[in-house]
Structure 1
Amino acid sequence: MLNVKYLQKYRDDTNERNALCDAAIHARFNTLILPLDLDDSFRLRCSGEI
């Protein structure tokens, strides 16, 4: 499964990002954190693959 998040808090707040990634990994989701403008200014990834 693929999940994409655009909220700035996941980029700026390490605790929020870690909680999101922990939940994604537990649910076996691959999660991307992307900018809302989709301008490739950043891309963060949490992998739920085992």
Structure 2
Amino acid sequence: MGADNSLETSLIWLQNLVKGDIGQELEARALKGLKITHAQKGFLRFSFIVPSSASV
């Protein structure tokens, strides 16, 4: 992974984690409310609300 595409790679990884394509079911449930609001090299800003399905 080069420095040029590290941000893109991170965003793809996070999106796949949120969708449940990778990781564990509990992670996918908890991160379902994760929204990336801003991304740049070295900085990610999120909006995060724990969904009710994660508290069951």
Give TM-score scaled by structure 2 length: 0.34
Structure of greater Rg = 2
Which structure shows the bigger proportion of residues in helix conformation?
2
Q: Which has the higher contact order (CA 8 A, sep 6+)?
A: 1
